[in-house]
């Protein structure tokens, strides 16, 4: 695992020391001696993580961090404060400025490497989601600052010491909904079944290995991206480092400071919600590529990619498969008489009536314009004709109400039905036969179902 690490410090000795440690782990290291240079490097997209000194002239680390997180182009870059300031007040100030973590000078080598590696994994995940969402909603990609505004999070605490978890509950319950699990053996199942935004796990569980629990949470598909914050005693440095290596997102030491805990929870939740927004944007982009926006049916591109596989599956299993071509009758006259808005309403309503008349396993697509195609697995020609007739009756039974009720448009459809003939058949031949049957239905007077010639 490699990444570009920006070290920002006005003391050359400190820069050289961190540079040597990071390069020994094969990270690519960039350096800056002041806040303005650091902001320029971040803006140009040259770094993956920022290690930021707090005490610098002109612009201190808090201000630099705030500017990084306020800029839509750089807000997703993890920032670690590297400072001699280690009071809870200083940590809270940094977390409120947007910092992802703190390293205290003199920096422990193990803590440095494990923390950087953990943040590199997080950055890679976010970068991948941002890249996939880039062709979708730019607003989602750039929306980070206000994700947690007025939103209650869902926190699950795993701790079997009453005095420990009661304090955490008091701190968090004002802002979040909190569940407590006191039996570590039940924790994995309950977390997997829950809908939490973050898990807070004590490293001092009596009945289970806390690190093994964290590892299992990371290994499950459902909880793989769930943020984990561990609570550790001061002497558990090696356990904390191991936890970070296993994928734990953050940690806090006892005695727990209320303001620091709130700030760390807020940071992790905001990043989770941001990544969720990116995933939703990616999913919407995928759906847009295969869905027809007017009817919400699959589009022709999706049909062409999946029809062959459905056909081959039917052939290999020696099972029937039927195709129905459906066309709205006299659709040009609808557009000419009522306008294209009403025409769109007619197409949309016909698609709803088609969907209502078929099974979940059937594939219905808008093939183009006013034409639809339905592929029906495990369906012979006789049953397909019954379904096609049901669709025809569903469409013609009631006029389409359009333009807020100002128009009632009578609509009919013509249907062509075909089925796989023999093992030598092909998807193209099947679709062609259904199309010929549709042509015959229109030639014979429309508003009817015609099956392929025997």
Integer angstrom CA distances of residue 20 from 24, 112, 304, 311, 440: 6, 12, 56, 61, 79
Angle of helix 210-219 relative to helix 237-245, nearest 10 degrees? 10
d(CA 421, CA 320): 8
User: Does the annotation count 287 as an active-site position?
Assistant: no
Active-site choice (260, 370, 371, 452) = 370
H-run or E-run covering 411? none
CA atoms within 13 A on the CB side of 106: 4
d(CA 291, CA 379): 24
Place of tokens 């935004």: 197
Dihedral angle sign, alpha carbons of residues 219, 223, 229, 231 = negative
Residue 297 phi, psi (nearest 5): -80, 165
CA angle, 121 then 122 then 125, to 5°:
90
Structure tokens at 366: 């808008």
Q: Which residues are catalytic?
A: 370
């Amino acid at each position: 695992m490699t990444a570009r690490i920006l070290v920002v410090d006005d003391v050359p000795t400190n820069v050289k020391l961190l540079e040597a440690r990071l390069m020994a782990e094969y990270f690519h290291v960039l350096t800056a001696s002041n806040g303005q240079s650091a902001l320029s490097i971040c803006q140009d997209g040259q770094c993956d993580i920022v290690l930021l000194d707090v005490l610098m002239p002109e612009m201190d680390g808090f201000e630099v961090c705030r500017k990084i997180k306020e800029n839509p182009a750089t807000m997703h870059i993890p920032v670690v404060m590297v400072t001699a300031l280690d009071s809870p007040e200083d940590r809270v100030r940094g977390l409120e400025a947007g910092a992802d973590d703190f390293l205290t000078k003199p920096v422990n080598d193990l803590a440095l490497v494990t923390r950087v590696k953990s943040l590199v994994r997080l950055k890679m995940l976010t970068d991948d989601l941002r890249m996939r969402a880039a062709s979708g909603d730019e607003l989602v990609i750039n929306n980070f600052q206000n994700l947690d505004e007025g939103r209650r999070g869902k926190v699950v605490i795993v701790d079997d010491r009453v005095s420990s978890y009661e304090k955490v509950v008091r701190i968090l319950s004002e802002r979040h909904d909190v569940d407590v699990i006191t039996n570590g053996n039940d924790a994995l199942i309950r977390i997997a079944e829950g809908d939490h935004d973050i898990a807070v796990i004590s490293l001092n569980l009596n009945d289970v290995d806390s690190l093994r629990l964290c590892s299992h949470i990371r290994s499950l598909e459902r909880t793989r991206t769930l943020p984990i914050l561990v609570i550790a005693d001061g002497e558990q440095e090696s356990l904390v480092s191991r936890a970070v290596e296993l994928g734990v997102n953050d940690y806090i030491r006892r005695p727990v400071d209320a303001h620091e805990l709130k700030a760390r929870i807020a940071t992790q939740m905001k990043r989770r919600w941001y990544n969720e927004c990116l995933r939703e944007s990616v999913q919407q982009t995928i759906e847009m590529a295969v869905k027809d926006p007017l009817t919400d049916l699959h589009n022709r591109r999706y049909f062409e990619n999946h029809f062959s596989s459905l056909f081959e599956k039917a052939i290999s299993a020696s099972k029937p498969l039927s195709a129905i071509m459906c066309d709205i009758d006299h659709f040009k006259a609808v557009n000419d008489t009522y306008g294209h808005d009403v025409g769109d309403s007619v197409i949309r309503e016909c698609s709803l009536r088609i969907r209502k008349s078929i099974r979940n396993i059937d594939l219905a697509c808008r093939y183009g314009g006013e034409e639809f195609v339905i592929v029906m697995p495990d369906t012979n020609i006789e049953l397909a004709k019954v379904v096609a007739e049901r669709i025809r009756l569903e469409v013609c039974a009631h006029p389409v109400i359009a333009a807020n009720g100002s128009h009632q448009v009578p609509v009919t459809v013509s249907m062509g039905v075909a089925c796989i003939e023999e093992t030598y058949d092909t998807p193209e031949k099947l679709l062609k036969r259904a199309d010929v049957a549709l042509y015959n239905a229109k030639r014979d007077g429309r508003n009817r179902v015609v099956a392929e010639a025997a």
